[in-house]
Amino acid sequence: MFRFLTAGESHGPCLTIIIEGLPANLIIQPQEINEQLRRRQGGYGRGARMRMESDRAEILSGVRHGKTLGSPITMQIKNKDWINWQEKMSAEPVETPTEIVSQIRAGHADFAGAMKFHQNDIRNVIERSSARETASRVAVGAVCRQFLAQFHISIHSHVLSVGGIGSTDSFAPRDYSPEFWDRVEISPMRCGDKNTEEQMIGFIDEIRKKGDTAGGIFEVVALGVPIGLGSFSQWDLRLNSRLGQYLLSIPSAKGVEVGAGFEAARQIGSHVHDVLRHEENRGWSHTTNNAGGIEGGISNGEPIVARVALKPIPTLAKPLPSVDFATGENIEKSRYERSDVCVVPAGAVVGEAMMAIALTEVFIEKFGGDSAEETLAHYQSTLDLMQK
């Protein structure tokens, strides 16, 4: 079974990742992992830390001479800012106690986390609840992408809207051509439409001046996914339920749609359901993809399409009123820590990683194999069987 764990604090010495369950002999390119980490740090509206850090993953185990061994893979991403936090985040007791963080920030895990884990210093909550942890997941997703690429599965994302700028029409036809994705990759907003991109940037500039933040919606798409991933036999085996869990785990995620999503609920059935066709030279296909590539919890051969709504970043340059957790005193403004204004483009890259992880998990469940060669043989024999 495929699984992974991440560990590490935002201002600790490093982030650590362990991946288990990938077959042996899978070719791993470290530069591709670092490229995904670079993409996560991009996007218009990012803060000062993204300019400070230049994330790189170091593989510590499970890979030899460029190929997986079938044993657990360990990776490490060092935090370059650790030099300034060695005393504040020391694992050993310190002679001079550091100043505690006690001002609650609205919208963060500060209050609920401090209450749950019985902490009086909120630093013990925010270090792990920080979105810095998503760098680990992007590294895992980068490895999964290399696994999925062996089976011609690719994953992309683009930003649909920021604030009220852009389109969220889930029934609108999408351009998933290579040229479209090329335009997205050079866009600072990960938006394939130049006019919309400019409006988004203008909006972010405007709210930055006001000390505010913006959320938005991104779409993540997996192409080349075969028929048969997932299952309707149990609730937790359905591909859409598992994908929803993975995508909703992204910090700031507040909603997920698969295919036409909520818009499908406002339509009549004849306008929603995808008509199946079969042609001798093309095989199976659907005339539309309102199901988002998943029917009955199983991939149906169409692109897997999901959208994620991200709330605005809760750390504001002009903070909201709050409470001092240590004294119980209501305060007019909570503390401010360096932050982004908008992370929707970066969130889309994290969404790609989570899509890759979810698909890798169900792919290995279906096709299995202790080696990459064995997995490929199982995959090919299944495709041959489906074509008979």
pLDDT tens-digit series, residues 240-292: 999 999 999 999 999 999 999 999 999 999 999 999 999 888 889 999 999 99
E-assigned strand segments in the chain: 3-7, 14-20, 57-61, 63-64, 67-68, 73-78, 154-162, 165-166, 216-223, 253-258, 276-279, 283-286, 294-295, 298-299, 304-310, 322-323, 330-331
Cα gap 376→368, rounded to integer Å: 9
Q: Which DSSP string do the residues of 163-221 spell out, in sequence order? A: TTEE---TTS----SHHHHHHHHH-TT--S-HHHHHHHHHHHHHHHHTT--B-EEEEEE
With tokens 């070719």, the residue in question is: 27
pLDDT in the model for residue 53: 61
Q: Taken in order 333, 337, 342, 347, is the CA torsion positive or negative? A: negative
pLDDT at 172: 81
Overall domain count for the chain: 1
pTM for this model (two decimals): 0.94
Q: What is the CATH number of the domain that holds 158?
A: 3.60.150.10
The domain in which residue 316 lies consists of 3-386
- How far, in Å, CA of 79 to CA of 63, rounded? 23
Dihedral angle of Cα 30, 33, 35, 36, to the nearest 10 degrees: 180
What is the pLDDT tens value at each position of the chain, 388 positions in all?
A: 899 999 999 999 999 999 999 999 999 999 999 999 999 999 998 765 555 568 999 999 999 999 999 999 999 999 999 999 999 999 999 988 899 999 998 899 999 999 999 999 999 999 999 999 999 999 999 999 999 999 999 999 999 999 989 988 888 888 899 999 999 999 999 999 999 999 999 999 999 999 999 999 999 999 999 999 999 999 999 999 999 999 999 999 999 999 999 999 999 999 999 999 998 888 899 999 999 999 999 999 999 999 999 999 988 888 889 999 989 999 988 777 667 999 999 999 999 999 999 999 999 999 999 999 999 999 999 988 887 6
Helix or strand or coil: residue 223? strand
Report the 10 Å Cβ neighbour count for 317. Answer: 16
